[in-house]
A and B are shown apart, each in its own frame.
Chain A
Amino acid sequence: SQTIHQWPATLVQPVGSPLSLECTVEGTSNPNLYWYRQAAGRGLQLLFYSIGIDQISSEVPQNLSASRPQDRQFILSSKKLLLSDSGFYLCAWSALGQSLSEKLFFGSGTQLSVL
């Protein structure tokens, strides 16, 4: 069966420090991969999605970047964190090449606090 792993679960970082959040998917090949952010009291905002290795689409301009060095690995990064980067970050996957009815499977999330 397919599983998605996301780590760390919580992270406290000072302003200006770098960031690296990792997400891996097991049990499937060529997944679509997504990074979402959930700010306190807000809905989910799509940050990046990827349909293949080194193929990344950015949905909103921001201080973050994403990379997909391997088929089932998706990394969210920043060179210098801002206070506004605080939030709950969720990785998700869906089956590639499926219809638009395909659902997303989410990781357990990373609570990032930038101080």
Chain B
Amino acid sequence: AQSVAQPEDQVNVAEGNPLTVKCTYSVSGNPYLFWYVQYPNRGLQFLLKYITGDNLVKGSYGFEAEFNKSQTSFHLKKPSALVSDSALYFCAVRDGTGANNLFFGTGTRLTVIP
């Protein structure tokens, strides 16, 4: 069965500093990994995904994520944080068995401090 862990409920970072939001996963077979962002009282928006190929995936708003198979991780990163990046971030995984849905982590609230 698929599962996703986001070990940090809250991440605080100063504006202009690099940020990392952590995610580890467990699946049978090859993982399909996603990051979504949720702004207050809104639905989720897709940021990026990893399917195959390059371990470093680039997405929307300057975000990127690094797939590490040996550590079963898919951490979200950005070189320089903006105050507007403050939001709730969800990691999600789908395995290769044909399951028709995404399994989400519990979310990490990112606060960028001016």
- Contact residues of A with B, CB < 8 Å? 6, 9, 32, 34, 36, 42-44, 46, 49, 51, 57, 59, 90, 92, 100-101, 103-109, 111
Docked Cα-Cα span, A46 to B34, in Å, equals: 16
Contact partners of A90 in chain B: CB under 8 A: 43-44
Can you identify 24 A-B contacts, CB atoms within 8 angstroms?
A32-B100, A34-B101, A36-B104, A43-B6, A43-B90, A43-B107, A44-B44, A44-B90, A46-B103, A49-B101, A51-B100, A59-B101, A100-B32, A100-B94, A100-B96, A100-B99, A101-B49, A103-B46, A104-B46, A105-B46, A106-B36, A106-B43, A109-B42, A109-B43
B43 near A107: Cβ-Cβ < 8 Å: yes
Choice from A44, A59, A108, A111 contacting B104 with Cβ under 8 Å: A44
Which one, B41, B96, B102, contacts A111 given CB within 8 A?
B41
- A109 with B101: in contact, given A100-B94, A101-B32 (CB under 8 Å)? no
| CB-contact partner of A43 in B96, B101, B104, under 8 A | B104
Smallest CB separation, A103 vs chain B (Å): 5
Given contacts A103-B46, A106-B43, A108-B42, contact A43 B105 (CB under 8 A): yes
Given A101-B32, A101-B51, A46–B101 Cβ distance below 8 Å? yes
